[in-house]
Structure 1
Amino acid sequence: MAVRDPFGLMFSGATEAGFSPYSQAVHELQCFVGDPVGSVDRAISADPGFVMAHVFKGYLFGLATEREATAVAQACHAAALPLAATPREQAHVAALGHLAAGRWHDAARLLEDIAIDNPLDAVALQVGHQIDFFTGNARMLRDRIGRALPSWQSGMPGYHAILGMQAFGLEEMGDYIRAESFGRQAIEIEPRDGWAQHAVAHVMEMQSRQRDGIAWMRANPEAWTKESFLQVHNWWHLALFHYHLGETDEVLKLYDGPIYGERSTLALNMVDASAILWRLYLGGADVGDRWAALAANWAPKAGAGNYAFNDAHAMMAFVGTGLEGPAKILLEAQHEAMRGSDDNAAFTRDVGQPLTEGIKAFGEGNYSEAVRLIRPIRAIAHRFGGSHAQRDVIDLTLIEAALRAGDPALARALTAERALARPDSPLSALFSQRAANLSEN
């Protein structure tokens, strides 16, 4: 029993009854809309022996960066293991096994090989692309897709997603003109493609084109928000544009509405909430009691120690609220994580632990210590994942710490560096002025 898809790929254990909801799940993930878990569950219900349905569900949970979700990914791997019938399926099962065990880099390499042999395997490309994002591998964000792109043509199912992923990879490698072009093409094909929408937003963020970014995000929000599980992150991008313009009221309005109005307990959404409040906190803005609700949702995850990028953002909330207990639990969990054998041990050791300690030091007013901890990790910060836009919070924290520590030479150096990288940013100008004032005093 098997089904061959429009690209000629074989799917063992599938019938048309199961393959239809599986295809829907893939499309939903490509757009970041709907309920791909529900769709793939229907595929498994129709065809319990459908190996790639089990694998796909495992990927969804394995990419969630939540400790509880990892157990589901492991169960999916166990279900898929005896079912794989083709070399491609066996490689997918092995990749899922690595992902479920926290071996992100091993999973990425296997998915790379699958896509080299099968460039029309959209799932291998997208899951690999997401792992590249979570491991901060900018070159592979671009090249994983670039290798497959010649095999894709306009009109193929999911072509928009290939363009959108290529757009993000190009952006992370600084190829902004082509990145924007690819992203806009993807949106023309599929306006609901949240990843392509966000790729163009990243271009405008990196180029300090705040007004263009606001116009881009507000042009058709219905398309990228409807049933989208990426919408919080895309609203965060809109908030960033307003933040750089100093429009704090608009940022808080977005925070209280689509960013964290529903007070999500998903780590991916709480990361965005922490990231925007911390930026306001660095600037001395009054955010009221907003930290308290966010910290309360981070607290149960303080001891997870499974993804260093999340840990740093949880610490922001604990600092903002002054919660010593969860902060201590988090740091203890990080020390335990560094003794592990999975990739997060390195994520934490190289970047996550010093950054998290630095954030805590900043909150305690020990700005010189924050500088000491954060400054050495900037060049390697990509190792613990995220995008350039997300990791910018590291530079912002370091600049603010240098200014508050009263270190005029370092403040001048860091603000000059930022002014060169983002010459059209009002925030760059503000930092430069503050550094100049510090030198005069």
Structure 2
Amino acid sequence: MLKDHAGLAVSGADTTALALHETALGQFHCYTGNPLETAEAAIAAAPDFAMAHLLRAHLYLSGMEAPGIAPALQSIQAARSLARTERETLHAVAAEAWAAGRFDAASERFDDILINHPRDSLALQMGHLLDYYRGDARNLRDRVLRVLPAWGGALPHYHAALGMLAFGLEETADYGAAESTGRRACDLNPRDAWAHHAVLHVMEMQGRVEDGIRWATVREPCWAPDNMMAIHNWWHLMLYHLDRDDHARVLRMYDSEVRGSKSTVMLDMIDASAMLWRLHLRGVEIGAARWAELAEAWSGTVDDGIYAFNDVHGLVAYLGAGRQDLVERQMETLRRAAARPNFSNAAMTAQVGLPVAEALVAFNAGQYADCITRLRAVRSIANRFGGSHAQRDLLDLTLIEAARRAEDHGLLLALTAERLHAKPQSPLALRYRTIAGERVAA
């Protein structure tokens, strides 16, 4: 039985297929190229290669998209009969749990793999993604810390472990360590888009606008070409320009970088919805065409209900486009998901996704007091429906604008004080403070 780069036994592989598998893993870790195509080439070279089938399943599941479940299950079924090691069997069990919507169980199985096989970079990345999708900031950091003693710079995917650790450190507010770890990962492999993204998160959380623009712009040749994270990293760059009130530039980047390809990849559509809503909250003229295009792109997902974070961002597009038909369908999907038994997304939806959706609908209808009540009830637990601090900032931005429109000046002043602690030079936060201070003084 052959062994991979980490010394892990692999069933059914030959040297050609194993090399392709290693290439696909490297692509997945950096989000470059087409790892699915490479994994399928490995399967074609060695049809009995269990881990190649499992990599294909994991790739389909990693996008958190409903159409990926059926092909993932096909690969899981194939791998089940081919697995010859406990590690391979656990990968199949973890993938099966993910496909069934039991995210917590899948996360635990990836941990089970890593306890005995800490150098399994695929298990580490899939577990890390589940930590992100579930908003588990502690495990984003600690899952990597638990295995790192078994790693070393000689392993080809060491940069990926460091990039994941950097993101976990950022989400647990250890910004100095996060930045230095992320920069080290980028030095080891300049194409590691996840590591670049971790550093961008640090600078976003600290309000370091000029540093963020410089980091993203200078290193654009590393993270942008042929990369699945490109649009998300463009989104981060746009956040900095938004902090500078450069709305015209943000809209140009939205048209060229975010929606130029009319992507229907879930992460790309989430970024588009989040950016348009931020502009909408600022009163920027977006234009009906942008909202209409995005709502149409989202419309194929309206009945999916597999992940509340997706559903809420789809709802944002429908609200912006005035598509009441899709708004009603999305709300029904959320209610159905919240009631589904033995399904991780049920709790995510019931506790956070549905209340947030109801708050956004209230905001859109001008019912700002209702929006405030609903968002205040969930903001301290919003991590439970996934995403990062930067992404969930959409809820705080909506709350603070609802407070302004409701003329709740005490709340507006309180929220502004909170925001200025993290971003003391933010033009938006300073404007809110001025508005609130003037109203309170009056």
The one-letter amino acid of 1:258's match is E
Partners of 2:138 and 2:12 lie apart in 1 by 36
Q: In the alignment, what sits opposite 1:320?
A: 320
Q: Secondary structure at the match of 1:295?
A: helix
The one-letter amino acid of 1:326's match is L
Q: Secondary structure at the match of 1:81?
A: helix
8 A Cα contact 2:138 2:168, kept in partner:
yes
Q: Which residues of 2 match residues 402-441 of structure 1 at below 5 A?
A: 402-441=403-442
- Once the two structures are superposed, residues 223-260 of structure 1 have per-residue CA deviations (whole angstroms, 9 ceiling, x without a partner) of 10111011000000000011111111111111011111
Q: In the alignment, what sits opposite 2:343?
A: 342
Partners of 2:17 and 2:113 lie apart in 1 by 23
Show structure 2 runs of 5+ residues with no match: none
The one-letter amino acid of 1:395's match is D
The one-letter amino acid of 1:302's match is V
Compute the displacement of 1:35 (Å). 0.3
Q: In the alignment, what sits opposite 2:76?
A: 77
- Once the two structures are superposed, residues 130-182 of structure 1 have per-residue CA deviations (whole angstroms, 9 ceiling, x without a partner) of 11111111000000001111221113201111111111010000000010001
Q: In the alignment, what sits opposite 1:149?
A: 148
Q: Which residues of 2 match residues 241-320 of structure 1 at below 5 A?
A: 241-288=240-287, 289-320=289-320
The one-letter amino acid of 1:154's match is G
Distance 1:187 1:114, change over 3 A: same
Q: Secondary structure at the match of 1:229?
A: coil
Partners of 1:438 and 1:78 lie apart in 2 by 64
Q: CA RMSD in A?
A: 1.1
Q: In the alignment, what sits opposite 1:190?
A: 189
Identity of aligned residues (%): 44
Q: Secondary structure at the match of 2:10?
A: strand
TM-score, scaled to structure 2: 0.98
Partners of 2:362 and 2:273 lie apart in 1 by 17
Partners of 1:327 and 1:437 lie apart in 2 by 37
Q: Which residues of 2 match residues 378-397 of structure 1 at below 5 A?
A: 378-397=379-398
Moved over 6 A (4+): none
- Once the two structures are superposed, residues 284-342 of structure 1 have per-residue CA deviations (whole angstroms, 9 ceiling, x without a partner) of 00111211100111122111111100111111111111110000000011111112121
Compute the displacement of 1:275 (Å). 0.4
Compute the displacement of 1:417 (Å). 1.5
Q: Secondary structure at the match of 1:82?
A: helix
Q: How many residues align?
A: 440
Q: Structure 1 stretch 109-118 or stretch 319-328: which is displaced more?
A: 109-118
8 A Cα contact 1:403 1:438, kept in partner:
no
Partners of 1:63 and 1:222 lie apart in 2 by 25
TM-score, scaled to structure 1: 0.98
Q: In the alignment, what sits opposite 1:361?
A: 362
Q: Structure 1 stretch 409-418 or stretch 208-217: which is displaced more?
A: 409-418
Show structure 1 runs of 5+ residues with no match: none
- Once the two structures are superposed, residues 66-116 of structure 1 have per-residue CA deviations (whole angstroms, 9 ceiling, x without a partner) of 111111112211111121111111111110111111111111111112112
The one-letter amino acid of 2:313's match is H
Compute the displacement of 1:426 (Å). 2.5
8 A Cα contact 2:207 2:422, kept in partner:
no
The one-letter amino acid of 1:140's match is N
Q: Secondary structure at the match of 1:20?
A: helix
Compute the displacement of 1:434 (Å). 2.0
Verify: 1:135 aligned to 2:142, yes or no: no
Partners of 1:299 and 1:276 lie apart in 2 by 18
Partners of 2:151 and 2:300 lie apart in 1 by 44
The one-letter amino acid of 1:334's match is L
Partners of 1:71 and 1:434 lie apart in 2 by 52
- Once the two structures are superposed, residues 364-420 of structure 1 have per-residue CA deviations (whole angstroms, 9 ceiling, x without a partner) of 111111111111111111111000000011100011111111111211221112122
8 A Cα contact 1:167 1:199, kept in partner:
yes
Q: Structure 1 stretch 209-218 or stretch 288-297: which is displaced more?
A: 288-297
The one-letter amino acid of 2:184's match is Q
8 A Cα contact 1:54 1:77, kept in partner:
yes
Partners of 1:78 and 1:311 lie apart in 2 by 29
Partners of 2:257 and 2:412 lie apart in 1 by 35
